[in-house]
Amino acid sequence: MVVGQEVSEVSSYGKHLVIGFSNALAIHAHMKMTGFWRIYEKESPSEYRNWRMNAEMVFDSGVMVRCYRAPIFELRNRSELRLDLYLGPDLLAPEFDMERLIQRVREVDQRSEFSVVLLDQTVAAGIGNIYRCETLFMRSISPFTPVGELTNEEVKNAYLSARSALLSASHSRASLKIARGQPYVYRRTGESCVVCGSLIRSKYLQSPYATLDRWVYYCPTCQPVRR
């Protein structure tokens, strides 16, 4: 239990959130596609009364924080939460380990599409589908390019682009869409590419891991398939 305890830490690793308490316990949460947090400065509304609530934290100031529908939510000893042991380097970490990331990339099946590798959190932690699609567009890489066809420099530049976009969004507290007006390709199927005018395409891309199956959005002209 954490009743009466002080919050001693709030940190993240990739998409994972850790909230530590003064009794050495910590909440480990991952929102995936369904979870979300809500902060209430006054009495909480009843808008989510029928939704599954993972936790409720009430502070001395009267502020209430609730977590809803998080697929991963657990209370553990903080010392046991070694997310770095099974996740790749955290793209938002101040000391980002690019050498370790490149090594992880070369350890996967080199026939895998690079777009699938970008979503693999054991390679690098933090990239979701929006930033996967936008990164590939910014680096002019087709989502269907096998990772083995990319040089280490191309892989490095792609992850640096993703890191830059993630850092920008985290500092501004804005989504990609809000920060730039609209994404280049994400969820723009059938619309004109802002660079070349070609129509944006999309395809449901399956991977050996069902959790990485997602729609990919791309410009066939700006992101040509390599021959």
| pLDDT tens sequence across 37-84 | 999 887 667 778 888 999 989 888 889 999 999 999 999 999 999 998
What does the pLDDT read at residue 180? 52
Taken in order of first residue, the domains within the chain and their CATH numbers are: 7-83 (3.20.190.10), 98-218 (1.10.8.50)
Instruction: Give the tens place of pLDDT for each residue, 71-101.
Output: 999 999 999 999 989 999 999 998 889 999 9
* Residue 226: pLDDT band with limits 50, 70, 90: confident
What does the pLDDT read at residue 27? 96
137 neighbors 222 (Cβ within 8 angstroms): yes
Tokens encoding 95: 């000391």
What does the pLDDT read at residue 78? 94
What does the pLDDT read at residue 178? 41
Instruction: Give the tens place of pLDDT for each residue, 112-151.
Output: 999 999 999 999 999 999 999 999 999 999 999 999 999 9
Locus of tokens 């009794």: 23
Provide the phi-psi class of 158: left if phi over 0, else alpha when psi is between -120 and 50, else beta.
alpha
What does the pLDDT read at residue 212? 64
What does the pLDDT read at residue 67? 94
Centroid of chain to Cα 211: 13
| Most confident of the ranges 191-195, 204-208, 210-214 | 191-195
What does the pLDDT read at residue 49? 80
26 neighbors 16 (Cβ within 8 angstroms): no
* Residue 209: pLDDT band with limits 50, 70, 90: low
Provide the phi-psi class of 14: left if phi over 0, else alpha when psi is between -120 and 50, else beta.
left
Higher pLDDT, 11 or 179: 11
Instruction: Give the tens place of pLDDT for each residue, 144-203.
Output: 999 999 999 999 999 999 999 998 887 766 555 444 568 999 999 999 999 999 999 999
Higher pLDDT, 34 or 211: 34
Q: What residues contact 55, with CB distance under 8 A and at least 6 apart? A: 27, 66, 67, 73
